[in-house]
Structure 1
Amino acid sequence: MIPATWKYVWNNSADPRVVRAHTLADAARAARPRITLSRSEGGGPVLAYGGLPQGLTYVLPFLEQRRGGASHRVGRGTTWADLMHGRAAPDADILAVGVLGDRVPAQLPRHSLLLPFRVTLAVPVGPDSQDVLGRLSRKARQQHARELRSHSRTLEVAVRDDDFAFFYDDMHQPTMVNRHGDAARSEDRDIARVCLFERGVLFFLCESGRRVAGMLCRLEGRTLVVRLAGVARGDDQAYASGTYLAMYVLILQWAAEHGLTRVDLSGCEPFLSKGIFQFKRKMHPEVALPGNHFTGKRLMLQVRRDSPSVRAFLAANPVFAIGQRQGFEAVYFHDEDHPPRLDLRWNCPGVRGQRLVHFDDFLALLPDAARQPPAVPPNLP
């Protein structure tokens, strides 16, 4: 197996042998965990992340982006005992701990929630491609039909090497830089070519014959996995015009017409405020644990201090929590000053319902010292 293929398989395969090996490697890497403290020049809660190192790629950057402002981090070594009990980050307002599922304590620390580390979103498809439209709201169906006609939109399947180069260099890379900057996550070019293009399908959305967007997908049995996307030159206008929604709908219909049974839309962090989730929710996907190594990872979210900025942050970012029953639960924090963000909707298969949690109840037993915002050093680390 060439290095590019092995790297992709290691990070993405649902093969139980690969998942088991990855889990063992994760346990070894996290034997001596680290804690990273993050402050913002613009204020907001002091965040901390510790435990499994993947959280520095997925969890902490998302929390920092939602807090806003330039982030300043400082890290150090700690122990699992101090992480689990919150002692590892005494200055943190909110502590997130990435942990393997078998290390989650039977009794969570007080003022904590247990979340999946990531969730995956997938749409089952049948032999009738028109059933795909039935998953959309009436408003979304009308917009799709209207713009399909007005923009003369069609779906192209591309197979040449120069098609891949055009997609990766002129669509995907500019889009990642424009949308995410230094926080962009993607596959490098060799992996994308060998593991996706040569083992999948490259789609272009055309308007009046001109390529305006593309998606590179991998075929895994009868499942089509959406992996990389981009718009021409990374142009923001494409996001406002319904281009991506049109492309997803046409790809879902293509999958149904070609005998596939499932389209994996890829995953995201377990927060309803994640823009990718709110966008893909329009297609009514099933929300589940990922099939790869993330399936056994969990995120413990603990509130360490009560303050107006902490309440504002948590109210703005409802979560998917893991409860006693099968499936996830949408949890919304609120109080008299922070109404629950019910506009961030959860309604998808795999999410069994919602729970409203009042801050005064959730934080009732915090010590008095934890009800004041922490002092911020004059020189941020």
Structure 2
Amino acid sequence: MRLDGWWAEGHYVWRTGSGPLVGGAHRLVDAAGALRPPVTVSRDASGALPLAYAGHPDGLTYLLPFLEERRAGPAAAHRTEQTTAGTTVGTAAGTTGRTTGRTTWRQIAADAAAPDADLIAVGCSHRRALSLPTDRALLLPFRLSLVVPVHDGPEAVRRRVSRKDRQQYARERERRAWNVVPGTADADFAYFYRRMHLPTMASRHGESARSESPSVAYHCLFRHGALLFLTEAGRRVAGMLCRYEPATRTLVIRLAGVLDGAEGHYRSPTYLGLYVGVLEWAARQGLSAVNLSGCEPFLSKGIFQYKRKLHPRVTLPADHFGGKRLWLRARRDTPALRDFLVDNPAITLDEGGRLHATYFHDADRPARTGLRWRTPGLAGQRLVDLDAFLAGAPADLPARV
């Protein structure tokens, strides 16, 4: 392997590895960085809901952009939240500015960090999360993994899909002559990366898009996984680049795209065909599971709602994110804050480590139960009255994990 291949593999393992050595190294680095945690305040033109994020720096990649999108409201966020696998980072549209500084854990606990923010999110270790106040606060996993078992074969995979989507898949597979075909040549990788993945990321996320570099995608995914194309009547229209994890016999979906990022493929069942086809392919290979990749712990996350159609098991990630938590605290009772909490039901942790869908509501804002939660790994739902929660009452929410 060339030097760039070694660098790419080391970089990838550091970010996604799940072994004890990688986990221990992350804990040491995190402990050093947590001595004076960074804090970022985000504002939009309306000034109605200043947000703050403090703690683990990966929250600036995954969490804060999501919160900024959701601050703009469900309709605006839907325009940027699609079903594409991949990584996005950057300031959401409508955000006018961010300011960054340093704080202390004592200031965070005393509500003195970023005091002008109405909502603060803190990414930290499990142990640190237990030391923070519990009033007006939620305890969430930092990220989630969505995993579909495939060891029972293709028929069982199809039965996991809802009846309506299963019928649509069968109908469209026949009509469009769908097939999933592996790509094994370097030219196949280049075609996927340049003609499918990059155009799709640009189309969906614009300047805020960020993905794996060509070197990492080639050496760490293509050379250690599978590139799978969805064809229609023999023509490649979409693809997924996956990493194979032999220890668990799991295929991990990392990058995806449609041909030339064409908007029409998002208006058609192409993505449904791609996901179900890849699950069936993995089942035929005798694999145990397909990891659909991670997402933020909110039911309003579009990727979560789309992938929920496949009834994945929701779990804590196997990598270093699995030991991290997200402490979310309401600072002030404002209409914008109430709207935000109702619009974005959270996936929270209880004292036994179980995951729950948590919906807020008040007299003027009904719980947004149209954002469905039922899928393996979620123990149930909780309905929380905002008046009691914002007054500091426990509101029957678990305070600790």
Equivalent residue for 1:309?
Answer: 336
Instruction: Please give the alpha-carbon distance, in whole angstroms, between the structure 1 residues aligned to 2:391 and 2:199.
Output: 48
Equivalent residue for 1:204?
Answer: 229
Retained in 1: the 8 A contact 2:311–2:376?
Answer: yes
Q: CA deviation at 1:109?
A: 3.5
Please show how residues 110-259 of structure 1 align to structure 2 within 5 Å.
110-221=135-246, 222-259=249-286
Equivalent residue for 2:23?
Answer: 19
Secondary structure of the corresponding residue to residue 104 of structure 1: helix
Equivalent residue for 2:79?
Answer: none
> Which amino acid counterpart does residue 223 of structure 1 have in structure 2?
T
Retained in 1: the 8 A contact 2:118–2:330?
Answer: yes
Instruction: Please give the alpha-carbon distance, in whole angstroms, between the structure 1 residues aligned to 2:41 and 2:23.
Output: 30
Identity %: 53
Q: CA deviation at 1:43?
A: 4.3
Secondary structure of the corresponding residue to residue 68 of structure 2: helix
**Structure 2 unaligned spans of 5+:** 73-93, 394-401
Equivalent residue for 1:102?
Answer: 127
Equivalent residue for 1:34?
Answer: 38
Matched, 1:60 2:91: no
Retained in 2: the 8 A contact 1:288–1:327?
Answer: no
Matched, 1:276 2:303: yes
Retained in 2: the 8 A contact 1:156–1:204?
Answer: yes
Instruction: Please give the alpha-carbon distance, in whole angstroms, between the structure 2 residues aligned to 1:23 and 1:71.
Output: 34
Matched, 1:318 2:341: no
Instruction: Please give the alpha-carbon distance, in whole angstroms, between the structure 1 residues aligned to 2:133 and 2:280.
Output: 44
Instruction: Please give the alpha-carbon distance, in whole angstroms, between the structure 2 residues aligned to 1:44 and 1:159.
Output: 51
Retained in 2: the 8 A contact 1:64–1:71?
Answer: no
Secondary structure of the corresponding residue to residue 4 of structure 1: helix
Instruction: Please give the alpha-carbon distance, in whole angstroms, between the structure 2 residues aligned to 1:170 and 1:100.
Output: 40
Q: CA deviation at 1:107?
A: 6.0
Equivalent residue for 2:358?
Answer: 331
Q: CA deviation at 1:42?
A: 3.7
Instruction: Please give the alpha-carbon distance, in whole angstroms, between the structure 2 residues aligned to 1:53 and 1:201.
Output: 30
Query: 1:159-211 CA distances to partner (integer Å, 9 max, x unpaired)?
Result: 01010001001110111111112332321110000010011110011111111
> Which amino acid counterpart does residue 255 of structure 2 have in structure 1?
L
Retained in 1: the 8 A contact 2:109–2:132?
Answer: no
After superposition, the CA RMSD in angstroms is 1.4
Retained in 2: the 8 A contact 1:118–1:268?
Answer: yes
Q: Which has the larger displacement, 206-215 or 40-49?
A: 40-49
Instruction: Please give the alpha-carbon distance, in whole angstroms, between the structure 1 residues aligned to 2:127 and 2:96.
Output: 32
Query: 1:69-110 CA distances to partner (integer Å, 9 max, x unpaired)?
Result: 233111111111111232102111101011111212356331
Retained in 1: the 8 A contact 2:42–2:95?
Answer: no
Instruction: Please give the alpha-carbon distance, in whole angstroms, between the structure 1 residues aligned to 2:105 and 2:207.
Output: 30
Instruction: Please give the alpha-carbon distance, in whole angstroms, between the structure 2 residues aligned to 1:56 and 1:234.
Output: 26
Query: 1:249-281 CA distances to partner (integer Å, 9 max, x unpaired)?
Result: 111111111110111110000011000000000
> Which amino acid counterpart does residue 197 of structure 2 have in structure 1?
H
Indicate how the Cα distance of structure 1 residues 193 and 107 shifts in structure 2: closer, same or farther if over 3 A, else same: closer
Q: CA deviation at 1:223?
A: 0.8
* TM-score calculated relative to the size of structure 1: 0.93
Instruction: Please give the alpha-carbon distance, in whole angstroms, between the structure 2 residues aligned to 1:318 and 1:13.
Output: 30
Secondary structure of the corresponding residue to residue 281 of structure 1: helix
* TM-score calculated relative to the size of structure 2: 0.89
Retained in 1: the 8 A contact 2:126–2:325?
Answer: yes
Instruction: Please give the alpha-carbon distance, in whole angstroms, between the structure 2 residues aligned to 1:197 and 1:54.
Output: 25
> Which amino acid counterpart does residue 354 of structure 1 have in structure 2?
Q
